Amino acid sequence: MQIQIFGCERELDESRIGADPATIREQVREYESGTRTAFDLEIAFPDDFTGSVMRAMTEISAGETRTYGAIADDLESAPIAVGQACGRNPIPVIVPCHRIVGVDSLVGYGGGLDLKRRLLEHEGAGIPGE
């Protein structure tokens, strides 16, 4: 399913979310308006490394960031592997891959760096290197 967030479209694999599309869209609208900081949706995580990274993402609160290296250390992996798993996140925004950043820069984001910056600014998170 497609969602709109800050004027951008993102694709979500709703089969991984235990809610109907109307509920998902409503929670995204609440997040965008600032009345919601966390999603209250049941997530079916993949049973692989991507799922482990996704679980780690959900532990990062709105307004906070973690580096690819910090997540890699926690998972006994490499930062590049964490970045690749972030790129495979089937439910971006809901599972906040935008909260994982480089040590001194935003680095990549499937929705584009402008959207990543906008999401982090919306949450009040600091932007690395700025």
Q: Is 86 a catalytic residue?
A: no
With residues binned 3-state (H G I as helix, E B as strand, rest as coil), the percentages for the chain, rounded to 5, are 45, 10, 45
Positions of E strands within 55-99: 66-67
Other beta carbons within 10 angstroms of residue 8's beta carbon come to 14
Is the CB of residue 45 less than 8 Å from the CB of residue 54?
yes
From the candidates 53, 56, 97, 101, give the one annotated as an active-site residue.
97
Nearest partner of 3 among 95, 86, 65, judged by Cα: 95
CA distances from 3 to 20, 25, 86, 104, 125 (A): 13, 7, 18, 30, 22
Residues known to be catalytic: 97
